Amino acid sequence: MRIIGGDLKGRHLVDWEDAGIRPVRDFVRTALFNIIDDFVPDAVCLDLFCGSGSLGLEALSRGARRCIFVDASAGACRVVRRNLDAFDLLGSTEVIESDACDAVSHLVSRGRRFDLVFLDPPYFHGLTAAALAELADGRALTGDCLVVAATHHSEQLAKTDGVLEIVDHRRYGDNALTFLRRAEMNGS
């Protein structure tokens, strides 16, 4: 797996195969970053269920200002730290080994807010819905935040009860990308 665009284009991620991680495939990542290209420069990102860190690393390569990586797996967090070190990005990042919902709550208590949030949990465990519910009050999100959820195409995301609403949904083979924004950003 490699970084597909930006300053780190072509650089390979290390050690992710041995950690049992399912990374976002290159063609899905390419499509995603083509869609969100305008949101990335200078963004503060949150990569929940980060796995290999490929989404946050791609954002940093393309000009994001900062990224916080969160995963409950110690192995995944080790992989992310190794890649951040290899790419000399430790200064613009933080890696948190934690449940995603607990991490969001902790980050909110620290006053952290994000312009771009990636959700890429293991499929079929209800984790996307739980994370969206945690984000739905908007306290972790800037006014024009974009949330991107990567799921299996058969997983349906319900409309959230909070400030987020689905604005786009795209399918790529077995994968799907769902884009959510604050309702007030869409004239609702």
Which residues face 93 on adjacent strands?
Answer: 67
Q: Which residues contact 145 (CB under 8 A, 6 or more apart)?
A: 113, 114, 115, 116, 117, 181, 182
What 8-state DSSP symbol labels residue 106?
H
Which residues of 12-84 form beta strands (DSSP E)?
44-48, 66-71
Using a cut of 0.85, tell me whether the model's pTM lies above it: yes
pLDDT, one tens digit per residue, over 49-105 is: 999 899 999 999 999 999 999 999 999 999 999 999 999 999 889 999 999 999 999
Q: Is 67 left (phi over 0), alpha (psi -120 to 50) or beta?
A: beta
Amino acid letter, 143: G
Domains of the chain by start residue, with CATH: 17-186 (3.40.50.150)
> Would the pLDDT of 109 be above 90?
yes
Which residues face 150 on adjacent strands?
Answer: 177
